[in-house]
Amino acid sequence: MKITDVKILPVNRFLYVKVFTDEGIVGLGESGAWGFLDASAEAVNSFKTYLIGKDPLQIEHHWQYMYRSFHFRGAAIMGAISAIDIALWDIAGKWFNVPTYMLLGGKSRDKIRTYYHVHGETTEELVANCMKAKELGFNAIGHLSPFLDEPRSTPYFEPYVKMINEATERVRIIREAVGNDMDLCLELHRRMQPGEAVAFSKAVEKYHPFFLEDPVIPDNFDSMALIASKSNVPIATGERIHTIQEFEMLLSRNAMSYARTSVCLCGGITGTKKIAAIAEAHGVQIVPHNPLSPVSTAACIQIATAVDNLAIQELPDHNTLSATERFTSSETIQEESFKQSDFVTWVPTVTDGFIDVPKQVGIGMDLVENADEKFPYKRREINTRLHVDGSVIDQ
């Protein structure tokens, strides 16, 4: 079997890659390069010249060849490698007529625990969405910002005492509303300084959050380790890094209790499997990062099924707009007349907070015919939030 073509399919806010073979088997993958999907597409075009004519089943070799080819790293490059890698694993599953997870060692579980995305620009809206998740049967909620999901176009300012106390109060209100049958995965969106993060973790620890995600920007591993050493609430991080070496440096510093592996950014299924193994050696579980489309979800499911050290799987609502559009665009967003599930052939069903492990071969889904024409690509806008003093803040 040989690779005959590699095609790029931008659809709505997502970037897909299809790898074609002379046996008629086609693999599908997704790049998680966020706002830089056009750059990632060009990286795919560069790798395409290498891939044509190669055996698609030599996945590890192709991963190493692409990863080590130009001696440079970056989200656009790693997103391209991830999309191609997922597509190759999809081909392998179809070639051997098994779900891809069977080629990763088989099932470690029969069903996968998930958490549901919640959001709100006001406390009332946030609590209502948490209650909705409970009514839908979920036992964990995430992407849960105790600082609210305010529009990025609104200048920000809060005194320190107000920021800490009001965010803590929201966690209290949510905990009392949902009770102890619901885990709270608090998303801090990198918006704090190390000292603030330590103070906040102490303030909310009595409400027993599942974890605090990315309390500070992930660039400084020592800062994350400092917070982890002083926090009684577990720290989750890793979604914005994309090499096994970066994860090892965080893990060796005891900077995380949960590794947020971005399957569509950290090297695809191959890269994520490597990171999961390193995390397992450190006694750390993974929480696969998944704010993307149903194709990303299908790829995550393969890892979540196969590895032993899974804590929980992030699951955005595929019956609405993309999570990245809802959480990063301006308040002028127009609600679309379609759902993400409209441009794929399958989305998982959640029962009592769990996805039953699927049995479809490969990653188990495809795009609908002419998805790129039916749902034209739209470049993500650049929309960074500013402080009232005009400086840039993280959110």
Q: Mean pLDDT, to the nearest integer, of 369-373?
A: 95
CATH of domain 103-363: 3.20.20.120
Q: Which amino acid is at 182?
A: M
3-98, what's its fold? Enolase-like; domain 1 (3.30.390)
CB 34 within 8 A of CB 75: yes
- Nearest residue to 81 via CA among 38, 53, 41, 129: 41
Which pLDDT score is estimated for 337?
A: 65
CB 215 within 8 A of CB 233: no
Helix (H) or strand (E) holding 124: helix 123-135
CB 59 within 8 A of CB 88: yes
Which pLDDT score is estimated for 331?
A: 44
What percentage of residues in the chain have a pLDDT greater than 70? 96
53, pLDDT greater than 50 = yes
Cβ atoms < 10 Å from Cβ of 216: 22
Which pLDDT score is estimated for 320?
A: 79
- Largest alpha-carbon pair distance within the chain? 64
289 labelled catalytic: yes
338, pLDDT greater than 90 = no
354, pLDDT greater than 90 = yes
Looking at 62, 143, 289, 318, which residue is catalytic?
289
Q: Which residue is it, tokens 């891809």?
A: 100
Q: Which residue is it, tokens 């009232």?
A: 388
Summarize pLDDT for 71-92 with one digit per residue, the tens: 888 999 999 999 999 999 999 9
- Beta-ladder partners of 185: 211
Looking at 62, 189, 242, 318, which residue is catalytic?
189
Cα–Cα distance measured from residue 16 to residue 64, given in angstroms and rounded to the nearest whole number: 21
Q: Mean pLDDT, to the nearest integer, of 358-364?
A: 98
Q: Mean pLDDT, to the nearest integer, of 358-387?
A: 93
Phi, psi (deg, nearest 5) at residue 192: -115, 165
Residue 206 — very low, low, confident or very high, per pLDDT cuts 50/70/90? Answer: very high
Summarize pLDDT for 238-265 with one digit per residue, the tens: 999 999 999 999 999 999 999 999 999 9
Cβ-in-10-Å burial (0-12, 13-18, 19+) of 57 comes to middle
332, pLDDT greater than 60 = no
Which pLDDT score is estimated for 339?
A: 86
Cα–Cα distance measured from residue 240 to residue 254, given in angstroms and rounded to the nearest whole number: 18
Summarize pLDDT for 288-321 with one digit per residue, the tens: 999 999 999 999 999 999 999 999 999 999 887 7
The dihedral of CA 8, 11, 15, 17: what is its sign? negative
CB 33 within 8 A of CB 312: no
- What are the DSSP E strand ranges found in the chain? 3-11, 14-21, 26-31, 111-117, 140-144, 183-187, 211-213, 235-237, 258-259, 285-286, 313-315, 350-351, 354-356
- Nearest residue to 230 via CA among 264, 202, 189: 202
Which pLDDT score is estimated for 326?
A: 60
How is the chain split into domains, by residue range? 3-98, 103-363
Summarize pLDDT for 156-170 with one digit per residue, the tens: 999 999 999 999 999
- Mean pLDDT taken over the chain: 94
- The whole model's pTM is what? 0.96
